[in-house]
Amino acid sequence: MTGPFRLVGSVRARATLGATLVVAVALIAAGAAVLGSLRSSLMSQADSSAQSAAREVAVNLGLGHRFDQLDLGDGSEHPIQVVDADGRLRAASEALQRITGTGVTAVEPDLPKTASPAPRPGKDGPEKRGEDEPEEDRAEYGTVAPGRVKDGHTYATGTATVRGRTSDYRFATAQVDTETYGTLTIHAGALRDAEQEAVSTATAVMLVGLPGLLLVVGGVTWLVTRRALRPVESIRAEMAAITASEDLSRRVPEPGSGDEVARLARTTNETLAALETSIGRQRRFVADASHELRSPIASLRTQLEVGAAHPGLLDLDGAVADTVRLQRLATDLLLLARLDAGGPRADGRVELGPLVREELRQRAARDTIAVRATVEEDVDVVGSRGQLARVLANLVDNAQRHARSRIDVTLARESTVAVLRVADDGDGVPRTQRERIFERFVRLDDARSRDDGGAGLGLAIARDVAEQHGGTLTVRTSSLGGALFELRLPAL
């Protein structure tokens, strides 16, 4: 993968893109919330202004003012309509030319044309009425009875054209009941210019600032992730160098930050150390196996060549012994390979009591030192009967090679643990060598002179089988003075 695809596929790019997207979504959501709150607040102010204007007109009508006495202004700030129950426009702002949103589109008041305008106090003198003046004219220009302003207001959005300029408004509606005119409805508007201008300004600021802020977030994230991932790149480069050189003694650099990357480096070095140990162990195993196989093969070949040239000198017993040794060694190597592979074993319920008695009974005829056994009943474990029998055989074989005159085998149950002990009265195992004897192909110097051909795999196999079964195999000094091998397994 190369070019932009490789860039997008990197951890830095994904982290930067993810952080930028999260911030962008958060900012957009916050911006929408701010704009919504601002719009709602300004609209509430417009509603309050429109309501105040409508209620002021309603109160004046309720106090008995006539239509011609109302001060409705020119409509530039508050376009006002006064409508009766029949839907007729009875009064309106002077300069109002067009209106929508109130439900009444008329802008010219519908007034009677049969009467002259009433004289206004202070200008035309006292009002004079003719006795034959129509009742409707008296209602328009005569005395008007007081009324009552209704509670509650409704709101709507619309437009109004005043002196040739069309603007958006919020309209509030108020009602007043009068005895003279009946129920009158007052529509009063309030400009939305402040709301629209504020929302537009805020939107523009957000649109201009958002890309810049996202660039800052993306840049900071890119730099921070670059710094954070620099040790990871160092680890990767060192691992690549180790792979190329096959030098498992090298280690990756461990940063002193104490964070996840430092723990990754530490774990990587631990893995390399374990791998180095495993590879070294494998190489030694192969070398030791080759050495152990070379001796019986060379001996067997020599005997066969001598037998071929001089049939009378053929040592059949020696050839058979070398063949048996080769067979045992091959079997041990195969078992160790299976244990190392960790493959599935044939698990089942194993009764250790009968297993121990049967194994010792089969050995009684050929073993040079008699074995005394103390076996409890009902000591059962889960595992492979064949592998567990191999552990017992290896432990008894080891005791036979080192014991002077006595070997004790005991089987007991201690709480939830099955304990098998094999003790002898030999020289024992030095404290400093008690772990080393469980390594493969290891035979202590004192034991070599008494070794009857063992390859040093028996104890290694026994411990591996014990660990495979979830148990332990240890050695210490027995009460007889020799070695005491103790196998502990989870009991049923």
CA atoms within 13 A on the CB side of 417: 13
What is the predicted pLDDT for the residue at 459? Answer: 94
CA distance 345 to 82: 98
pLDDT tens string 298-352: 888 888 888 888 888 778 888 888 888 888 888 888 888 888 777 666 789 999 9
Q: 93 φ, ψ to 5°?
A: -60, 150
The C-alpha atoms of residue 453 and residue 186 are separated, in whole angstroms, by 120
Closest CA to 387 of 377, 398, 399, 395: 395
Query: What is the per-residue pLDDT across 160-206, written as a single tens digit (0 to 9) for each?
Result: 999 999 999 999 999 999 888 889 999 999 998 888 888 888 888 88
Residue 144 pLDDT class (50, 70, 90 cuts): low
pLDDT at 333 (0 to 100)? 84
- In-domain check, residue 255: no
Q: What is the pTM of this model?
A: 0.51
Could you report how far apart the first and last alpha carbons of the chain are, in Å?
56
The answer to whether the beta carbons of residues 371 and 403 sit under 8 Å apart is: no
Query: What would the pLDDT profile of 420-446 be if each residue is shown by its tens digit?
Result: 999 999 999 999 999 999 988 887 654
Name the domain boundary from 241, 275, 298: 241
Residues 274-280 have a mean pLDDT of 87
Q: Read off the amino acid at residue 466.
A: A
> Residue 334 belongs to what domain range?
260-341
Rounded distance between C-alpha atoms, residue 86 and residue 84, angstroms: 5
Residues 268, 327, single domain; the answer is: yes
Lowest average pLDDT, out of 107-116, 357-366, 472-481, goes to 107-116
Percent of the chain with pLDDT over 70: 88
Residues 292 and 222 in one domain: no
334 & 361 share domain:
no
- Residues 314, 361 within the same domain: no
Residues 280 and 221 in one domain: no
Residue where one domain finishes, among candidates 190, 212, 241: 241
Structural domain contains residue 28: yes
One domain for residues 325 and 419: no
| Tens of pLDDT, residues 218-230 | 889 888 888 878 8
Phi, psi (deg, nearest 5) at residue 37: -65, -40
Contact indicator for 482, 353 with CB cutoff of 8 Å: no
379/405 same-domain check: yes
- Residue 8: which pLDDT band, with cuts at 50, 70 and 90? low
Mean pLDDT across the chain, nearest whole number?
A: 84
> Are both 48 and 64 inside the same structural domain?
yes
CATH code of the domain in which 316 resides = 1.10.287.130
The count of residues in the chain is 492
pLDDT of residue 5: 42
Picking from 306, 321, 341, the residue at the C-terminal end of a domain is: 341
Please give the full DSSP string across 18-78, using - where no structure is assigned. HHHHHHHHHHHHHHHHHHHHHHHHHHHHHHHHHHHHHHHHHHHHHTT--GGG-----SSS-
Tens-place pLDDT, residues 66-102:
888 888 988 888 999 999 999 999 999 999 999 999 9
Coil vs helix vs strand at 85: coil
pLDDT at 180: 84
> How far is Cα 144 from Cα 176, in angstroms, rounded to an integer?
13
Same domain for 358 and 328: no
Instruction: Name the least confident of 198-212, 287-301, 366-380, 471-485.
Output: 287-301
Q: Please enumerate in sequence order all residues whose Cβ is within 8 A of that of 443, keeping only pairs 6 or more positions apart, or say none.
A: 451, 454, 456
Q: Residue 130: pLDDT band by 50, 70, 90 thresholds?
A: very low
What value, to the nearest 5°, has the Cα angle with vertex 294 and ends 293 and 295?
95
Q: Give domain status of residue 290, yes or no.
A: yes
Within 10 angstroms of residue 484's Cβ, the number of other Cβ atoms is 21
Kindly tell me if the per-residue pLDDT of 6 is higher than 80.
no
CATH number at residue 403: 3.30.565.10
Q: In the beta sheet, which residues pair with residue 431?
A: none
In a domain, 380, yes or no: yes
Give dist(CA 324, CA 337) in Å, integer.
Answer: 20
Measured distance CA(425)–CA(410) in Å, rounded:
15
Kindly report which listed range (49-58, 63-72, 256-265, 277-286) carries the lowest average pLDDT score. Answer: 277-286
Which residue type sits at 421?
Answer: R
Same structural domain for residues 163 and 69? yes
Same domain for 358 and 226: no
Query: What does the alpha-carbon distance between residue 107 and residue 98 come to, in Å, rounded to a whole number?
Result: 6
What are the tens digits of pLDDT across the range 50-71? Answer: 999 999 999 999 888 888 888 8
Q: How far apart are CA 481 and CA 114, in angstroms?
A: 142
Amino acid occupying residue 12: R
Strand-pair partners of 155: 172
Q: Residue 16: pLDDT above 60?
A: yes
443 inside domain: yes
Using CA atoms of 13, 15, 18, 21 in order, give the dihedral in degrees to the nearest 10.
-70
Which of 1-5, 117-121, 197-201 is predicted with the least confidence, judged by mean pLDDT?
Answer: 117-121
**Residue 118 within a domain:** no
Task: Check whether 451 has a pLDDT greater than 60.
Answer: no
Q: How many domains does the chain have?
A: 3
- Degrees to nearest 5, angle at CA 45 with 40 and 48: 125
Q: Has residue 444 been placed in a domain?
A: yes
Position 125 in a domain: no
Q: What is the mean pLDDT of residues 121-142?
A: 45
Same domain, 109 and 155: yes
